[in-house]
Structure 1
Amino acid sequence: MKIVSIKMIKDPIHGFVEFEGEIEHHLKDLLSDPFFQRLRRVKQLGFSDYVFPSAAHSRFSHSLGVYAVAKRMLPIVERDASNGKWSEKGRDCLAAALLHDVGHGMFSHAFEKAMKFFFERNPHLEEECPALRDAVDHEKVSPKIIEDSSIGEHLNRLGGDSCASSVASMIQKSDKGCIYTSIVSGQLDADRIDYAKRDPYFAGVSSGSIDIDWLIRNLRVGSNGSGEFLYVNSKAYISLEQFTVTLFQLYPTIYLHKRTRGLEYMFALLISRVFELIADGKESQAGLTAAHPFVKFMKNPSSLENILLLDDTVFWGSLNLLQDAPDQTVAAMANRFASRKILPMLDVWKMADEVVSSGAIASALPAATRVQTLDSVCGEVCLELQKDEALWGSDCYYDTYGRPIYKRKGTLGGDPQQINVEVGGQIVDIASISPLVASAASFNIHRIYYDDQNEDKEALLKSRIKDLLQTKLNG
């Protein structure tokens, strides 16, 4: 009897991440690839550790967690597989789970936000240099790394010449009707299941609970004639509710925290200015030399080797150089980072809430109507504020974001891209049977960040916002 060796990595969320059999051992070898090792130096939650000190976990550990969850979901699809002997689709699914974040830039989504600022201020460069635009989009960078780097070579040695492109296609959701794709990227996927457990754990916050064991134990494979999908029967749908609500609550608790968003804005201001100087051939004004990774990246953004250079440590290691930059905008913002002097903010939603609560309409508004009303009014107020040229300037920033509890698809009979529940012999979208998920609950932010160097700015903004809110809410 042949003994199949198992290689294990200890993980605080899943206990052990196991690699079993020849296929999985080959996938474990990917962990040593420079592009995957780079994920050790990219934090999962960007600047959240400035607010939650222990939230310093990396994209590396998260990727291992996604692989672990995908490996637990995959036997539901391939019931005859054992000892790590998966089909080609199963192999590609596990590889995609492991590699889904390999293209993330430094500080994860914060880098994409910074480059959005850069292109807004330099629209001609976005048109003239599409390679730069693509190089800061992790959804485009990940497939490029998987197909064109040493990772691609490794995958093709494992599964043939088309293996790397198959893995990349799965990450890109080229076939949204594929059950394997839904394990990697869907509304109930291994990615979301892992970070819904991992992120609150490391942040040290309590945001609901997810019973992964019960959830996975009750997953079944269904078919609607055009393809297969995962579902649970009605006795386990409460676990799906818990998952949906927990994921939703992470947004106000962690992801959209006012301090974190403020730091992301500061990072965007700083990096966009640094890259502007580099684009003009004035990198020395940012305190950098031609050999700096930022400069190399800007000069040749299509190079995967230059993309490999960009991680969180490059920024922190350059902070002292940026603090001494001749350019005062760069130096001032770098000094703010070094001293954690986060730009101040006015919460327009909170101010609107106070206006509504003090008025006669407060008790008359149902919760859902109240949220919709405040969201609409706050948006209108912030847009009008931006039209006030005497008050609004380059030192102001409107930060808005809306996150619904669930994106309803509503396909009767089941779909890989929705959360499916079997009830009364029929497969339906969870929003069809769960009043909680169907509630249209959403979390929205409307915030104004501003530069506190102008002593009168806060008072002027606050007064104008209050006047606008009073007019729109109380007539």
Structure 2
Amino acid sequence: MATPNKKKILNDPVYGFITIPTERLYDLVEHPYFQRLRRIKQLGLSEYVYPGALHTRFHHALGAMHLMGQAMNTLQSKGHCISEAECEAAQIAILLHDIGHGPFSHVLEYTLMDNVSHEQISLMLMHDLNRQFDGALALAIRMFEGTYERPFFHQLISSQLDMDRMDYLNRDGYYTGVAEGAIGAERIIKMLDLADDHLVVEEKGVLSVENFLNARRLMYWQVYLHKTSLCCESMLVQILRRARFLIRQSGGDPIVVSDVFRLFLREHVTLADFQTDRRYLDSFMKLDDFDVWACIKEGATHSDPVLSMLCQMLLDRKLFKIMLSTEPFSGELLTQIEGQFRESGMPDDWITYFLVEGQATNAAYLPSGDRIAIKLKSGKVIDIADASDLSNIQVLTNIVRRYYVCWARNLAIGEEHT
């Protein structure tokens, strides 16, 4: 039987033609763990705001792999010794960096499980794939964890100027139509260099980095933390909260969900559960957005009025009203809204599902973290905050906090619901 051609070229809407450069990368892309990412949207419920935001984690991971390949080429062209094995390992690490995302990505990350991050699951899956591939991912895992002796590889995978952020800003801006997401990733990558095996940007790339940081700040408020997205996400969390409550009750009308989804709704799943019982990781790898949407569609006709109202409202885009503030909301406002619910006949134990408080934070650059280093013509390396002559670069280092409260309006709560 003929050996399949594993050097594939893909047509990507953001970058044009991109290549899967090695057979091992091709085999990882073809693996069921990675193919699952086709069924997880990159931006959760942002399509309720931006109808074009239908791209997936699969798109994003391939794009980040492509940018990593460009970064390797740039650094090699500047005389830095990077082996083919290191190039492939860096691309494997960035390809798999999001493989542990569950349905709706960040929205449900801490709703489905008890304080288990997608990075922790990604690492478990990388170790599992390493066993399946006879140890071929060992170097990629060290780079991903930050234990490899050349730190710039980890910086390219996870830092404040990594290939992950460069792709998602470009890609999310493209699919939402928000032009501010365009960051000139190719120019930034061309400006990358190394100093003592740490990642730096050449001085002539300062303006591009400033644009990158500003684009990130704008994309957070315009897309990732858009008030309508926050509202939709709050509704989705309440739907799962109610479904979990009903599933844990004995008797009553059963909720129709997939077996793997039921497992995570029924149990408090911890990191220790993942580490000690293979069943949880296997079940998690069968979960995707479609399990959640099936639950919402079935929930819309469920006999429980709270679940059915929430599900039908989300399906029909009858969204909660939302208010934003730079200060925490007064108890008076919340008491007033609760009073309106009670006047409409809503039982007290329903109110927490239809009235949600929360807060969103955004900081474009954190100098206390893994800083973005600029290499001056003299060879001296300084922080971007010191290299920039933009007056707003210091503003970008401030953590901006917005408080929100959202609640259901005009609910018809009749006798049949009480």
Corresponding residue for residue 375 of structure 2: 422
Q: Does 1:138 align with 2:118?
A: yes
2:40, 2:57 within 8 Å by CA — same for their partners in 1? yes
Corresponding residue for residue 330 of structure 1: 307
Q: Does 1:452 align with 2:409?
A: yes
For the aligned residues, what is the CA RMSD?
3.0
* Secondary structure of the corresponding residue to residue 18 of structure 2: strand
Corresponding residue for residue 167 of structure 1: 140
Deviation at residue 390 of structure 1 after TM alignment: 7.0
1:294 partner amino acid: F
Report the CA distance shift for 1:383/1:194 in structure 2 as closer, same or farther (over 3 A): farther
1:255 partner amino acid: Y
TM-score norm. by structure 2 comes to 0.82
Corresponding residue for residue 346 of structure 1: 323
Q: Does 1:108 align with 2:105?
A: yes
Report the CA distance shift for 1:400/1:299 in structure 2 as closer, same or farther (over 3 A): closer
Corresponding residue for residue 222 of structure 1: 195
Deviation at residue 114 of structure 1 after TM alignment: 3.2
Corresponding residue for residue 16 of structure 2: 15
Corresponding residue for residue 91 of structure 1: 88
Corresponding residue for residue 260 of structure 1: 229
Alignment equivalent of 2:244, drawn from 275, 290, 294:
275
1:182, 1:188 within 8 Å by CA — same for their partners in 2? yes
Alignment equivalent of 1:249, drawn from 218, 237, 246:
218
Deviation at residue 294 of structure 1 after TM alignment: 1.6
Q: Does 1:186 align with 2:159?
A: yes
Alignment equivalent of 2:357, drawn from 391, 398, 403:
398
Deviation at residue 337 of structure 1 after TM alignment: 1.5
1:263, 1:342 within 8 Å by CA — same for their partners in 2? yes
Q: Does 1:433 align with 2:387?
A: yes
* Secondary structure of the corresponding residue to residue 366 of structure 2: coil
In structure 2, C-alpha distance between the alignment counterparts of 1:333 and 1:389, rounded to whole Å? 18
TM-score norm. by structure 1 comes to 0.73
Deviation sequence 1:159-180 (CA, Å, 0-9, x none): 2xxx34x534533445697111
In structure 2, C-alpha distance between the alignment counterparts of 1:5 and 1:451, rounded to whole Å? 52
2:319, 2:408 within 8 Å by CA — same for their partners in 1? no
Deviation at residue 85 of structure 1 after TM alignment: 6.0
Corresponding residue for residue 26 of structure 2: 28
Report the CA distance shift for 1:144/1:387 in structure 2 as closer, same or farther (over 3 A): farther
Deviation at residue 383 of structure 1 after TM alignment: 6.8
Correspondence list, 1:286-435, <5 A: 286-288=254-256, 292-298=259-265, 302=274, 303-347=280-324, 349=325, 375=326, 378-379=327-328, 381-382=329-330, 394=352, 395-409=354-368, 417-423=370-376, 424-434=378-388, 435=390
Deviation at residue 211 of structure 1 after TM alignment: 1.8
1:322 partner amino acid: G
In structure 2, C-alpha distance between the alignment counterparts of 1:454 and 1:177, rounded to whole Å? 58
Corresponding residue for residue 72 of structure 2: 74
Deviation at residue 396 of structure 1 after TM alignment: 2.4
Unaligned runs of 5+ in 2: 275-279, 342-350, 413-418
In structure 1, C-alpha distance between the alignment counterparts of 2:305 and 2:146, rounded to whole Å? 44
Report the CA distance shift for 1:384/1:68 in structure 2 as closer, same or farther (over 3 A): farther
Report the CA distance shift for 1:257/1:389 in structure 2 as closer, same or farther (over 3 A): closer
1:114, 1:267 within 8 Å by CA — same for their partners in 2? no
Report the CA distance shift for 1:208/1:325 in structure 2 as closer, same or farther (over 3 A): closer
Report the CA distance shift for 1:443/1:249 in structure 2 as closer, same or farther (over 3 A): farther
Alignment equivalent of 1:202, drawn from 175, 179, 197:
175
1:422 partner amino acid: K
2:173, 2:180 within 8 Å by CA — same for their partners in 1? yes
Unaligned runs of 5+ in 1: 116-131, 350-374, 411-416, 456-475
* Secondary structure of the corresponding residue to residue 230 of structure 1: strand
Corresponding residue for residue 371 of structure 1: none
Corresponding residue for residue 206 of structure 2: 237
